[in-house]
Amino acid sequence: MSLYGMMRTGVSGMNAQANRLSTVADNIANSGTTGYKRSSTEFSSLIIPSTTGNYTSGGVTTTIRTSISQQGDLKYTSSGSDLAINGDGFFVVQNSSGTPYLTRAGSFVPDGEGRLVNAAGFYLMGYSFAAGPPSATANGFGGLEMVSIAQEELIAVPSTQGVFTANLPVGADVVVPGNLPSANAATATSTQKTSLVVYDNLGSEVMLDIHYAKTGPNTWEIAVFDQAGAAPGAPFPYAPGSLLATSTLTFDGTTGALTAPLAGVDIPVPNGGTFNLDISKMTQLGTDYTQLKVEANGNAPSGIESIEIGSDGTMYAQYKNGSFRELYRIPLANVQSPDMLRALPGNVYTPSADSGDLQMGFPGSGGLGSMVSGALENSNVDIAEELTAMIESQRSYTAKSKVFQTGADLMDILVNLKR
Q: Which H or E run includes 123?
A: strand 123-128
pTM above 0.85, yes or no: no
**Cβ–Cβ contacts within 10 Å for residue 38, how many?**
23
Among 110, 146, 111, residue whose Cα is nearest residue 127: 146
Contact (CB, 8 A) for 348 and 102: yes
Q: Which residues lie closer than 8 Å to 334 by C-beta, 6 or more apart?
A: 88, 89, 90, 358, 359, 361, 367, 368
Q: How confident is the model at residue 419 (pLDDT cuts 50, 70, 90)?
A: low
Tell me the domains of the chain and their CATH numbers.
2-67+381-418 (no CATH), 74-151+329-377 (no CATH), 156-301 (2.60.98.20)
Q: What is the pLDDT of residues 77-98, one digit of tens each?
A: 999 899 999 999 999 999 999 9
Q: What is the pLDDT of residues 214-273, one digit of tens each?
A: 999 999 999 999 999 998 888 899 999 999 999 999 999 999 999 876 668 999 999 999
Please count the helices (runs of H) and the strands (runs of E) in the chain.
2, 30
Predicted pLDDT of residue 321: 65
Count CA within 13 A, CB hemisphere, residue 232.
0
Q: What is the pLDDT of residues 281-316, one digit of tens each?
A: 999 999 999 999 999 988 888 878 888 999 999 999
Predicted pLDDT of residue 51: 65
Q: What is the pLDDT of residues 101-121, one digit of tens each?
A: 999 999 999 998 889 999 999
Contact (CB, 8 A) for 65 and 311: no
Contact (CB, 8 A) for 173 and 190: no
The arithmetic mean of pLDDT across residues 187-216, rounded, is: 93
The DSSP bridge partners found for residue 145 are 126
**58/227: higher pLDDT:** 227
pLDDT exceeds 70 at position 53: no
Q: What is the pLDDT of residues 340-390, one digit of tens each?
A: 999 999 999 999 999 999 999 999 998 999 999 999 999 999 999 999 999
**Cβ–Cβ contacts within 10 Å for residue 133, how many?**
9
DSSP string, 76-104: E-S-TTBEEEESS-BEEEE-TT--EEEE-
Q: What is the pLDDT of residues 131-166, one digit of tens each?
A: 889 988 888 899 999 999 876 677 788 999 999 999
| Three-state SS at 148 | strand
The DSSP bridge partners found for residue 377 are 74
E strands, 5-120, in order: 39-46, 59-66, 74-76, 83-86, 91-94, 100-103, 109-110, 116-117
